[in-house]
Amino acid sequence: MTTSHEELILISGTSTGMGAAAARELARRGFHVLAGVRREADADALRAPGLEPVLLDITDPAQIEAVAHRITTDPAQRPLRAVINNAGTAINAPVELLSMDEWRRQFDVNFFGHVAVTKAVLPALHASSGRVVNISSIGGKVVLPTYGAYGGAKFALEAMSDALRRELAPHGVQVVVVEPGGVRTEMTGHGITRANATIAAMSPAERGRYGGLLQAIINQATAFTASGLPAEAAGRIIADAATVRRPRTRYTVGRDAAVLTRLPRLLPDRILDRVLAADLRPHFPKNYPATA
């Protein structure tokens, strides 16, 4: 087995948050990290010993092809230890109000882009007996109202990961899923900004149906994130998932994730609906008739 400084790891979505933390942790452990970013400014901020930023918009086939070529033509001929599919985006909106363009955007970034990157680097992973690490979410196991598009993409990522794990296991390539709960990252803040924009664009009738619900979701997400793990703690778990000798098939990040990802297996749907509604109820605006 090669030592860490002789191996590459590719990770997408490293501009901020868990991705940046995982990239820095892997570089600290001695790997040469190809850190995917979407903008040159983010590359400049991230560049460090062992950290090589690469432009990687996972919805751009040309950039995916360029990164795959960078791996196969590595000057030091280092094998690819792992690809970590971490890039993501989120917007909270009721199914009725979310545009079809935004539905497609959610799936392009949170699912199809990861499939495309994985397919592009699988030849290198076959050659190295490497690993695929897919960053999912508790939203890939249990979905709150307004998380339909994000959760749908994460459910798809979970299903694809199961299929891929069973396809690749006979050939020595491992597939691991990481399911974070509350983590203090910038993505939650971006999602809250978009949710507020959705509220502002609602018609009076839509606001009557969904305004209180969406405000409760915003309040809950804010509290959930504030009490969550720091990105560095999540980064260490992701780094472990990519590098330990015998990884689990799934890792949760945070106590909340460990609990919530098990609820769908333990509770009937109607009971789970009531549990989630009760947890959301305190976050509704005062005097709002919360019936969610």
Is residue 13 within 8 Å of residue 36, measured between CB atoms?
yes
Residue 6 has a pLDDT of: 83
Estimate to the nearest angstrom the gap between the alpha carbon of 220 and the chain centroid.
Answer: 19
Higher pLDDT, 258 or 203: 203
Is residue 118 within 8 Å of residue 217, measured between CB atoms?
no
The hierarchical CATH code for the domain 4-188+231-265 is 3.40.50.720
Identify the residue whose tokens are 């694809």: 160
32-36, 135-139, 195-199, 219-223: segment of lowest average pLDDT? 195-199
152-156, 246-250, 285-289: segment of lowest average pLDDT? 285-289
Mean predicted confidence (pLDDT) in 184-211:
83
Q: Does the pLDDT at position 272 exceed 70?
A: yes
Closest by Cα among 49, 43, 6 to 27: 49
Q: Under DSSP, is residue 78 helix (H, G, I), strand (E, B) or coil?
A: coil
Q: Does the pLDDT at position 172 exceed 90?
A: yes
Q: Would you state the structure tokens that stand for residue 187, as one six-digit string?
A: 């993505």
Mean predicted confidence (pLDDT) in 21-49:
95
Residue 292 has a pLDDT of: 40
Q: Does the pLDDT at position 225 exceed 80?
A: no
Q: Does the pLDDT at position 291 exceed 50?
A: no
Q: Would you state the structure tokens that stand for residue 17, as one six-digit string?
A: 């948050």
Residue 150 has a pLDDT of: 96
Rg (C-alpha) for the chain, rounded Å, is 20
What percent of the chain is modeled with pLDDT above 70? 95
Mean predicted confidence (pLDDT) in 12-17:
95
Mean predicted confidence (pLDDT) in 102-112:
97
Q: Does the pLDDT at position 278 exceed 60?
A: yes
What type of residue sits at position 271? I
Q: Does the pLDDT at position 197 exceed 90?
A: no
Is residue 142 within 8 Å of residue 272, measured between CB atoms?
yes
Higher pLDDT, 187 or 3: 187
Q: Does the pLDDT at position 168 exceed 70?
A: yes
Q: What is the mean pLDDT of the chain?
A: 92
What percent of the chain is modeled with pLDDT above 90? 79
Closest by Cα among 218, 215, 219, 221 to 202: 215
Residue extents of the structural domains in the chain: 4-188+231-265
Mean predicted confidence (pLDDT) in 264-290:
89
Q: Does the pLDDT at position 5 exceed 70?
A: no
> Cα–Cα distance between 43 and 21 in angstroms, integer?
14
Q: Under DSSP, is residue 246 helix (H, G, I), strand (E, B) or coil?
A: coil
Residue 84 phi/psi, 5° resolution?
-115, 110
DSSP string for 171-228: GT-EEEEEEE-SEE-HHHHHHHHHHHHHHHH--HHHHHHHHHHHHHHHHHHHHHHHTS
Residue 93 has a pLDDT of: 94
What pLDDT digit, counting tens, does each position of 52-83 carry? Answer: 999 999 999 999 999 999 999 999 999 999 99
Catalytically annotated residues = 150
Residue 288 has a pLDDT of: 64
